Amino acid sequence: MEINAINPWKWQDARSYAQAIEVKNVEGTLYVSGQTAINDDGISSNEDMKTQLIKSLVNLERVITEAGYSCSNIVRLNIYTTSTEELWPHFSIFQDWIAKHGTKQALTLLEVVSLFETLKVELEATVVR
């Protein structure tokens, strides 16, 4: 498999994403539903944005690895949040997670009116191998 980032500019590098990702010779593709701060019993978190972001990343990584894929091969990641204002102070947590895995992905960040129950952030990914 070959993954290539396409970046006509440099500014997106500071935001931990690529403008486009090209993937060649893929053996498999995993489409991951939005992962949130829901515990093993299916209870939605009512904690703050930072805590929910961390739990969402943990859950995303768990689904990806249990499927036999690698977080380093995330090629598309969508972030949904009920408040970009609340998310921005904790965006470095997301960037550190991306750096830890060496991920280069196309990314969309959307602020939405609401998410399921008490949730504040949701991460949806496409992973290849």
For 35-80, what is each residue's pLDDT tens digit? 999 999 999 999 999 999 999 999 999 999 999 999 999 999 999 9
77-112 burial string, b = 16+ CB within 10 Å, else e? bbbbbbeeebbeebeeebeebbeebebbbbbeeeee
Give 95's pLDDT tier (boundaries 50, 70, 90): very high
Q: Is the pTM here over 0.85, yes or no?
A: yes
pLDDT score for 85: 98
pLDDT score for 48: 98
- Provide mean pLDDT across the span 97-117: 97
Helix (H) or strand (E) holding 12: none
pLDDT score for 107: 97
17 vs 65, residue with greater confidence: 65
Does residue 37 sit in helix, strand or coil?
coil
